[in-house]
Every structure is written in structure tokens, then in C-alpha cells.
Amino acid sequence: MRNLILILGDQLDSDNPALTGSDSTSDGIVMIEAAGESTHVWNHQARIVLFLSAMRHYAETLRSRDLPLHYLALDDAAETTLAARLRGVIAQCRPEKLIVCEPGEYRLQQDIEQVCRESAIALEVRGDSHFLCSREAFAAWAKDRRELRMEFFYREMRRRQDVMMEDGQPAGGRWNFDTDNRAGFTKTGPGPLPRPPQFAPDAITRDVIALVSGRFSQHPGELDDFHWPVTRADALRALDDFVEHRLPRFGQHQDAMWTGMPFGWHSLLAAALNLKLLNPREVIAAAVAAWRKGHAPLAATEGFIRQILGWREFIRGVYWLDMPGLLEANHFGHDRALPAWYWTGDTQMTCMREAIGQTLKHGYAHHIQRLMVTGNFALLAGIKPQAVHEWYLAVYVDAVEWVELPNTAGMALYANGGRFTSKPYIASGAYIKRMSNYCSSCSYDVKLKTGAKACPFNTLYWYFLDRHEQQLARNPRTVLMARNVSRLSTAERDAIRASARNILETLG
């Protein structure tokens, strides 16, 4: 064999660069299901199903293109790691070279390099053309910048890619429509909600569901409601449905939360994008076309484009720039274990119960639930970043390390000391009250900051300010927080510390 082409589980684009120039007479393709990939963090069952089912559907398309394929299904093979199974295929096929598109995870890239070294074969890692900004282009942009700020990267990407630009200026004369977006709901709530499409499991997905429910039955999460797109055709339908029914109100309610509202007007496209069933270019083009024909307002469209062209590309750039150090980052030296109820949702806090509950049911929570509810709590409670990272990587269907880790360690936990955020994203219960109806049905009182009935977010927020007062006073973006805490009397501080200790002791 000349070339063995490795297609990883999150590289399911039909024009995967590793396939370019392949020759069916001399090359082979390998796809590997490895139990280790489902167990290296305690994966949600829906995440395992999504990856395996999407891989098996993709393999069908390769077979129909007559490309010689070695598909290693999950079985009882002694080797459970991807590296061990790959080593076995290489020993069997004896290729001259392994070709792979840039993996989405540093650990896998290291493993693959090691297997090739040990097997004494050449390795060609091809750039991932799925992304609009290559790793190298991002590193060049970041070089010599004291601070990495998404906003400046995003503006450059808009210009470079000519997205929503008019005569060299951003459409509507502004780069940012955040002030028009991100409102909460009135007391009457969201009103009638759009119903995202449900993709009923076909025979392949049903087989995988049976496999996962048997083999990974102890893993968290439910499978009864598995409805995610696992093929390109379904992913395209999901995109059309979003643009038609939810994009027009996407921005307005982007940050709002409500009991029993898992999805709101969000796109639910991250999983399909991260598996590469969708290309960001076509997602951007569909949104821009809807705006051009007057179907979606400018603010909503800009708010959405900012996520795909801005945040998604930026976060990937940061990941490859800062690995492997990002995995160990722990700016505040936090070392508390993750409370067990992060895996069950069994807590009296309505906001946490809702965010975790829908995560276990669907493998999904929207950005503000991840950042300002579960992430905010983890930061305020001083939970070890590595434990939080493993939770986020495990429980979301869209989780892949290149996007999950910078969001968790960098954005939610400030574990990298503000490498790309100007201040820690911390908030008391007042923020959650403003953006949701959670507090009205909670056992805790969002108006109190100390005592047994006090909202834990309030107590822990003030305790955080108390602990980090000096550091916060040095940052112009947090100096006001430091000033607020400096006004507390000794008695108030003592009460906060005592209440916080009570909460933290019960976390287990």
C-alpha cells in the first residue's frame, strides 16, 4: 500500500483534505471506533451515539464511492485506544505513509505521530480546510499582540472574507449589534417556541443506540430523545430550518433562559459543524442570504455570524497556540472536586437543575447556560479547572477539545489568567434573575447574600470578591467589584465567609 488515509470521527466532510489525490488502486482508508475515545472522559451516551452513528453513515458514503475502506467497528478487541488499533492496521497493511487531516485534539495528534514513529512510516498531516483561518494564519495574527481579543480578530475576518461588508465598511455602519441583541423575556416568558426539527433514528442509528445502551449503560445522559442530525443531508435540513424559523429572532433572545426551554432560537448546529457535516462557509452564506432578502434582521444575522466567523475560528486558533499548557492552566489555584450532582442535576438550585437537567436529556445547553450558570458556579466555588473541563468535554454532543477547552478554561474559568478575556465572567444571582425565570421557583432567595436561604451564587460571588479583592483592584475592568467589596463591614465579611464555608462543605 502507498498511502493509508486516516479519517477521524470529527472529520466527516466529503472533501476531507486527506482524501485529495487518493488513488483507489494503491491507497486505503481507515476509520476507527475505539472504546477509549468514549471512556477517556465519562461521555454522555448521546455524544457516543452521535459520533459512532455519524461515522458509520459517512463510511457508507465512502463505500458507495468505491474507496477501499478498513472500518474497525467497536467490538471486544483487546486494544481499546485509537493508537493501538491504528498500530494494528498499519502492521497489517504496511503502507509507506499515513495521511491525516489535522486532528481536533492535541492528544490525538501526539498519539498518531508516535504510532507512525514506532511503525517507521512517514506521516503527512494536511491543513484543515474546513476552517476559514488556518492555525498558521492565526498564529501570525496573534504574534506580537499583548492581548488576544476576539473583536479585532472578527473584524479582520469580516474584511478578509468579505462577509457583510459594504464599500469596505461593516453593513449597517457598525461591527457589533450586541446592544440590540441579548434581551431577557418579559414576565410572560418566551411565548410560542419554534420546534427544531427532530431527526428520527434510522436503522444505523438504532443499532448504535442499542450498542451504546448496552456497553456504556453506566455513562451519564439519556438516549430516549436522541434527535441529532448524523448525516450531511440531515445537517443541511437542520441549517435550512434554523435560517427559516429561528435566525430572525436569534440575537434578540440569545442570552435568555426560561424553565422548560432547552433550545430557544439557537441554531443547534455546533455538533454538525464540529463533525464537519456542515461547512462554516455554507452556514455563513445561508445566514447572509436570509438577511439580504429581508428575512432576518441585520442585528440577528450579525450576532450569528459573529459566533461562526468570530468566536469559532478564534477559539480554535487559541487552542492550537496555547496547547498543551492550556490543559494545566489554573490561574486561581482552584482545587475543589466537581460536585457529584453535576452528573445528575440533583440540586435545589433551579438554575443549575435546569441547565444540567436539559444537558443530561439532550446533550445540549446554550452558551449562557454553559457560561453563566454551570461555568460561573464552578468558578465561584473554586472547582479544579481540569475536573470542569472533563465534565464539559463529556456532556455536550458538540464537545470536541479544540472548542471545549478554551471556552471552559479560558472563558468560563479564567484559568489562563485572562489570555483572551479582559475579566473573569463572574456574576451573582441578580444576573440569572434578570435573564431567566429560574429564581421564581427556586428554594433559595435571590435577594439574600448570607444565611441558609441565600442564593448560593450571591454568597459565593461575594466570597470570591473577598478572596481576590487585591487582584480585582489591579484590573480596570474589575476595579468596581473590588470597590464594592471594600465597602463591606468586618461583620458582613465574616457572615459571607461563614455562609460560603457552609455551602462549600456541602458540595462534597
Ligand X SMILES: Cc1cc2nc3c(=O)[nH]c(=O)nc-3n(C[C@H](O)[C@H](O)[C@H](O)COP(=O)(O)OP(=O)(O)OC[C@H]3O[C@@H](n4cnc5c(N)ncnc54)[C@H](O)[C@@H]3O)c2cc1C
Note the residues at the interface with ligand SF4 (CB under 6 A). Answer: 349-351, 429, 432-433, 438-439, 442, 444, 446, 455-457
Using alpha carbons, list the distances in angstroms from residue 282 to 79, 243, 289, 429.
Answer: 39, 12, 10, 39
Q: Tell me, residue by residue from 308 to 327, as one string, x for binding to ligand X by CB under 6 A and - for no binding.
A: x--xx--x------------
Nearest approach, Cβ of 406 to ligand X (angstroms)? 8
Residue 200, SS3?
Answer: coil
Written as one string, the DSSP assignment of 69-130 is EEEE-S-S-S--SHHHHHHHHHHHH--SEEEEE--S-HHHHHHHHHHHHHHT-EEEEEP-TT
The residue written with cell numbers 473573569 in the block is 424
412 binds ligand X (CB under 6 A): yes
Residues 6 or more apart in contact with residue 360 via CB below 8 angstroms: 44, 220, 221, 222, 344, 345, 395
Tell me which residue of 31, 33, 135 sits closest to 76, measured CA to CA: 33
- In angstroms, give the least distance from the CB of 371 to ligand X: 4
User: Residue 54, SS3?
Assistant: helix
When asked if residue 9 is in the footprint of ligand X (CB under 6 A), the reply is no
Q: How far apart (Å, rounded) are the C-alpha atoms in residues 298 and 412?
A: 28
d(Cα 229, Cα 495) in Å, to the nearest integer? 50
Nearer to ligand SF4, 363 or 429 (CB): 429
Nearer to ligand SF4, 5 or 495 (CB): 495
Judged by CB, which is closer to ligand X: 383, or 412?
Answer: 412
- Please select the residue that binds ligand X; options are 3, 181, 205, 274, rule is CB under 6 A: 274
CB of 388 to ligand SF4, least distance (A): 18
Q: Which is nearer to ligand X, 68 or 197 (CB)?
A: 197
Residues 6+ apart with CB under 8 A from 283: 239, 269, 273, 308
Q: Which of residues 390-409 bind ligand X (CB under 6 A)?
A: 392, 396, 398-399, 403-404, 407-408
Rank residues 52 and 460 by Cβ distance to ligand SF4 and give the closer one. Answer: 460
Q: Judged by CB under 6 A, which stretch of 50-58, 84-92, 225-233, 261-269 contacts ligand X?
A: 261-269
- Pattern 340-379, ligand X, x by CB under 6 A: --------------------------xx--xx---x----
234 touches 370 (CB < 8 A): no
Between CA 135 and CA 220, with CA 237 as vertex, the angle to 5 degrees is: 70
Per CB under 6 A, the segment of 40-48, 183-191, 197-205, 262-270 that binds ligand X is 262-270
Q: Is the dihedral of CA 301, 305, 308, 314 positive or negative?
A: negative
| Residue 456 binding partner per list ligand X, ligand SF4, none, with a CB distance cut-off of 5 to 8 Å that depends on partner kind | ligand SF4
How big is the CA angle at 111 (ends 139 and 55), to the nearest 5 degrees? Answer: 90
Contact 159, 310 (CB under 8 A): no
In terms of CB distance, is 88 or 184 closer to ligand X? 184
Least Å from the CB of residue 377 to ligand SF4: 9
Task: Rank residues 123 and 448 by Cβ distance to ligand SF4 and give the closer one.
Answer: 448
CB 173 → ligand X: shortest distance, Å?
A: 24
Binder of residue 457, out of ligand SF4, ligand X, none (CB less than 5 to 8 A by kind): ligand SF4
Binding positions for ligand X, rule: CB under 6 A: 266-270, 273-274, 307-308, 311-312, 315, 366-367, 370-371, 375, 392, 396, 398-399, 403-404, 407-408, 411-412
